[in-house]
């Protein structure tokens, strides 16, 4: 069994490290750029998503309606163990709306209702919820009650209602992350390890993979919303 804990301030380091590790371990499930592990750029994007999470956690200010909110599913037998988490961004000008940035459950504890419980708790606080996921994840979120609204690049936009909120939501600016010394060092290491030709090929593979995901996203939206596809 598990207990849900809502945090408006950054979690203790022991819990924070588990959340960060989960994002890295389940990168392909939670990333907006879900590269395949065989791509040499995989490690780079793993670091970036970990840093993006770090930026979100830094933004937590203790306000229950603040810009970043975190829900943890903690093991009842060992409350220091994180079984899953949801991180969402409340809209500052729409009290009902939020964007779900991450939802992850430890691989050993899936199919136990943890993801559903996390999502339901977010909806209790912010009933107009939106997220973006790859086409392959859509049936999972449909089973949790969300519906398809649109394609957005490689991702499908889903919502708890049949329309998007007009409220603004803060997002992490990743441009400084990609320009950071750490990311440049990782890229330089990968370049040295794999060679320039392999890295150029990795970028082409990334772009082709994202193009494929975009095509799948649009196809799925056309299937779910056939009337819109006719226009």
Q: Which residues pair with 98 in a beta bridge?
A: 90, 129
137: containing domain: 2-229
pLDDT of residue 158: 95
pLDDT of residue 141: 93
Question: Which pLDDT belongs to residue 171?
Answer: 66
117 CB-near residues (< 8 Å, 6+ apart): 2, 4, 73
In angstroms, the first-to-last Cα distance of the chain is 48
Query: What's the confidence (pLDDT) of residue 173?
Result: 67
3-state secondary structure of 4: strand
Predicted pLDDT of residue 228? 65
Residues in the chain with pLDDT < 70?
170-173, 228-231
Overall domain count for the chain: 1
pLDDT score at 175: 76
Of 87, 99, 97, which Cα lies nearest the Cα of 52? 87
| Predicted pLDDT of residue 110 | 86
* pLDDT for position 147: 96
Position 216 scores a pLDDT of: 96
pLDDT value, residue 211: 94
Q: pTM score > 0.85 for this model?
A: yes
pLDDT at 63: 86
Residue by residue, DSSP assigns 57-76 as HHH--S-TTSS-EEEEEEES
CATH number of 76's domain: 3.40.630.30
């Amino acid at each position: 069994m598990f207990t849900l804990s809502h945090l408006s301030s950054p979690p203790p380091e022991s819990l924070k490290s588990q959340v960060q590790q989960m994002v890295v371990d389940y990168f392909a499930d939670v990333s907006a750029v879900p590269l395949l592990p065989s791509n040499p750029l995989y490690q780079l994007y793993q670091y970036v998503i970990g840093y993006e999470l770090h930026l979100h956690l830094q933004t937590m200010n203790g306000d229950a309606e603040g810009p970043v909110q975190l829900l943890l599913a903690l093991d009842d037998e060992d409350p220091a163990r994180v079984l899953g988490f949801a991180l969402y961004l409340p809209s500052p000008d729409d009290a009902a709306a939020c964007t779900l940035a991450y939802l992850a459950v430890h691989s050993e504890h899936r199919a136990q209702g943890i993801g559903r419980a996390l999502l339901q708790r977010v909806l209790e606080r912010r009933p107009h919820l939106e997220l973006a996921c790859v086409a392959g994840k859509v049936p999972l979120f449909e089973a949790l009650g969300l519906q398809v609204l649109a394609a957005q690049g490689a991702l499908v936009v889903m919502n708890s209602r049949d329309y998007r909120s007009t409220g603004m939501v803060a997002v992490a600016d990743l441009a400084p992350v990609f320009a950071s010394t750490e990311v440049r060092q990782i890229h330089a290491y990968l370049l040295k390890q794999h060679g320039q030709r392999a890295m150029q090929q990795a970028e082409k593979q990334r772009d082709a993979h994202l193009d494929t995901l975009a095509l799948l996203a649009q196809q799925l939206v056309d299937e779910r919303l056939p009337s819109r596809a006719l226009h």
